[in-house]
Amino acid sequence: MTFVFHNDPGHGWLEVNSADLIAVGLRPTDFSRYSYRRRNVFYLEEDCDAPKFVAAYQHKHGNKPDFDDRYQERTFIRDLPSIW
């Protein structure tokens, strides 16, 4: 499975939908306030939250997911509300 990794000059976020989050046994409250959400899509911050999801994904599926890197000078993610 491939997940989009968004980044700008200052930070990065892994885009994960709610079904994929639940499938690996995680909930929005498992992550820090530095991750964001838009409806049922979560943007997990790169330092702590994205690695937590990747570890859970690898534990469940036996391999790490693939990533599609997308760079923007100013990403929309910074304007979203916190994950919880």
Is residue 54 within 8 A of residue 65, CB to CB? The reply is yes
Residue with token string 């997911």 = 65
Is residue 44 within 8 A of residue 37, CB to CB? The reply is no
Is residue 74 within 8 A of residue 42, CB to CB? The reply is no
Q: Tell me if residue 79 falls in helix, strand or coil.
A: helix
What predicted TM-score, i.e. pTM, was given to this entire model?
0.94
Q: Is the pLDDT of residue 71 over 90?
A: yes
Q: The tokens of 76 are what? A: 């929309």
pLDDT value at residue 11 = 95
| Mean pLDDT, residues 44-62 taken together | 97
Q: Tell me if residue 75 falls in helix, strand or coil.
A: coil
Q: Report the chain's mean pLDDT, rounded to a whole number.
A: 96
Residue 55 pLDDT class (50, 70, 90 cuts)? very high
**Residue-range domain boundaries for the chain:** 2-79
